[in-house]
């Protein structure tokens, strides 16, 4: 679905008019191609600000990635700013990095990146350190609201004892620097352990892995299938028989296997496990993407609308998870479960009490699954999209849709590929140290931001 307003304010005469009248001008974001990766990781120099061992380690890694790394810069356009704030002991310690970052903000190019590295506070921290670390969160969330021309600002938050060179920390930095995180802004990604390995080939981190994607016939699910395939995975797509034709077409495109099944059917988990075992002998990634909306105010809610949404969005996921937890031999390297939540589940949304119940439920279920999966080297994480341009959101009345699109710091809707990139990042071997988290792909949506 195209965003006419965004196209108008970015071309010809209408661009000039929009500029003259000070109208909001959402930028065209630098995005990935779900079918191929040939774009540079960052467009322009990456300036790593801060001193200390962590800053040196990260700068060295970025050099290994063949980026143009600087520790200071005067003049010229900046591709990304990395603010090293992991070693703060008191609020005043942040000032030096902030002093250096300020003048460089204006030099940040289109779709530029600000990535903050920081630590989660612990109960043992002094009040001064706790204040400093909490302050950093206020900093990156505000910067995300200040950057322009499609730039984003996010943080990698390391738990106590986790090194800046942990695979998940480096994986998160790489994801947040790249175009893969085009619609992720104002977020803090928690890295809770040193688990995981860096991929031998960054372009194929999922080589040799098998992934199941539910609701893969269209929209976000179809893009998830394409991106996982691009990253090297073999993909099994599941969708209802009524969507059989489009499912077959997506699976043909990615050389995958199509399974027509209603995920609410009690026999589906066993059937799916049997087919995957027979065909591939293993299952590494499960993406719970299938979901439905049946919007009504609670005052007008019908028993069927409530129950059908709970059945698809929550109960079906739970029964599949239970079956897979009982068959750990199918996932020798640990199972990665990634569930689609929603910003409606975080902030609530008028007319969506049933949907928000299920999407908040997905976030809770993910948190509780995380330690259970960790016992077998697996992880459970959720991705919460904000407004994404799909057939689901195309059904929203035109005026309401125009407003809904602009309610985030990037002033536009996300694309299915943006969500797919976040899912694939969490499915990758380098993300093993990220567990129980909900990553929002919402352009820093105002709802619950």
Residues that bind ligand NAI (CB under 6 A): 214-215, 217-221, 238-240, 243, 262-264, 289-292, 312, 340, 342, 385, 387-388, 390-393
Q: Taking Cα atoms as reference points, which of 255, 206, 205, 246 lies closest to residue 222?
A: 246
The residue among 147 and 263 lying less far from ligand NAI, judged by its C-beta, is 263
CB of 247 to ligand NAI, least distance (A): 8
Question: Which residues are within 8 A (CB) of 312 and not within 5 positions of it... i.e. 6 or more apart?
Answer: 263, 264, 290, 291, 292
Helices 353-374 and 303-310 pack at an angle, to 10 degrees, of 20
**Candidates 5, 149, 280, 355; catalytic one:** 355
CB of 389 to ligand NAI, least distance (A): 7
Instruction: Bin 207: left if φ > 0, else alpha if -120 < ψ < 50, else beta.
Output: beta
Catalytic site includes residue 5:
no
The residue among 315 and 376 lying less far from ligand NAI, judged by its C-beta, is 315
Q: Are strands 78-84 and 69-70 parallel, antiparallel or unpaired?
A: unpaired
Q: Across-strand partners of 157?
A: 118, 190
State how far Cα 343 lies from the chain centre. Answer: 12
The residue among 291 and 334 lying less far from ligand NAI, judged by its C-beta, is 291
Query: What is the DSSP secondary structure assignment for residue 338, as one 8-state letter?
Result: E
CB of 214 to ligand NAI, least distance (A): 6
Question: Which residues are within 8 A (CB) of 266 and not within 5 positions of it... i.e. 6 or more apart?
Answer: 319
* Alpha-carbon span 398 to 400, nearest angstrom: 6
CB of 116 to ligand NAI, least distance (A): 26
Q: Are strands 188-191 and 152-158 parallel, antiparallel or unpaired?
A: parallel
Q: Are 276 and 285 in contact (CB under 8 A)?
A: no
Q: Are 114 and 170 in contact (CB under 8 A)?
A: no
Q: Taking Cα atoms as reference points, which of 173, 55, 192, 65 lies closest to residue 122?
A: 192
* Alpha-carbon span 175 to 443, nearest angstrom: 15
* Alpha-carbon span 181 to 183, nearest angstrom: 6
The residue among 66 and 304 lying less far from ligand NAI, judged by its C-beta, is 304
The residue among 121 and 243 lying less far from ligand NAI, judged by its C-beta, is 243
CB of 345 to ligand NAI, least distance (A): 8
CB of 360 to ligand NAI, least distance (A): 12
* Alpha-carbon span 151 to 81, nearest angstrom: 11
Whole-number CA gyration radius for the chain: 22
The residue among 58 and 388 lying less far from ligand NAI, judged by its C-beta, is 388
* Alpha-carbon span 141 to 130, nearest angstrom: 17
CB of 200 to ligand NAI, least distance (A): 31
The residue among 174 and 218 lying less far from ligand NAI, judged by its C-beta, is 218
Q: Catalytic residue numbers?
A: 355
């Amino acid at each position: 679905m195209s965003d006419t307003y965004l196209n108008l304010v970015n071309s010809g005469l209408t661009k000039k008019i929009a500029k003259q009248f000070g109208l909001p001008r959402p930028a065209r974001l630098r995005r990935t191609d779900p079918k191929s990766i040939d774009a540079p990781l960052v467009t322009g120099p990456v300036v790593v600000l801060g001193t200390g061992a962590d800053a040196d380690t990260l700068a060295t890694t970025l050099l290994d990635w063949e980026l143009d790394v600087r520790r200071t810069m005067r003049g010229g356009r900046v591709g990304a700013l990395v603010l090293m704030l992991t070693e703060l002991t008191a609020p005043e310690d942040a000032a030096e990095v902030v002093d250096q970052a300020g003048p460089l903000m204006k030099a940040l190019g289109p779709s530029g990146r600000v990535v903050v590295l920081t630590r989660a506070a612990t109960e043992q921290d002094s009040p001064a350190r706790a204040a400093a670390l909490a302050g950093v969160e206020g900093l990156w969330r505000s910067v995300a609201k200040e950057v322009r021309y499609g730039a984003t600002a996010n943080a990698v938050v390391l738990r106590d004892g986790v090194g800046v060179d942990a695979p998940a920390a480096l994986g998160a930095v790489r994801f947040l620097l790249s175009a893969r995180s085009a619609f992720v802004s104002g977020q803090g990604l928690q890295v809770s352990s040193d688990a995981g390995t860096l991929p031998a080939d960054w372009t194929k981190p999922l080589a040799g892995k098998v992934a199941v994607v539910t609701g893969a016939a269209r929209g976000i699910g179809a893009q998830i299938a394409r991106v996982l395939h691009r990253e090297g995975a073999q993909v099994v797509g599941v969708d209802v028989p009524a969507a059989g034709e489009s499912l077959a077409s997506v699976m043909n495109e990615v050389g995958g296997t199509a399974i027509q099944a209603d995920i609410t059917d009690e026999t589906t988990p066993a059937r799916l496990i049997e087919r995957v075992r027979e065909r591939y002998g293993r299952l590494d990634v499960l993406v719970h993407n299938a979901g439905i909306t049946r919007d009504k105010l609670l005052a007008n809610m019908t028993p069927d609308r409530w129950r059908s949404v709970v059945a698809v969005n929550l109960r079906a996921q739970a029964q599949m998870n239970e079956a897979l937890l009982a068959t750990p031999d199918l996932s020798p390297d640990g199972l990665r479960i990634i569930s689609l939540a929603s910003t409606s589940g975080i902030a609530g949304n008028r007319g969506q009490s049933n949907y928000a119940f299920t999407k908040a439920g997905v976030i809770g279920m993910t948190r509780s699954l995380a330690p259970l999966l960790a016992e077998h080297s697996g992880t459970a994480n959720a991705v919460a999209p904000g407004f994404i341009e799909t057939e689901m959101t195309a059904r929203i009345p035109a005026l309401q849709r125009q407003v809904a699109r602009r309610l985030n710091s990037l002033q536009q809707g996300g694309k299915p590929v943006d969500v797919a990139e976040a899912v694939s990042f969490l499915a990758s071997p380098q993300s093993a140290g990220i567990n129980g988290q909900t990553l929002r792909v919402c352009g820093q949506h105002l709802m619950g931001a």
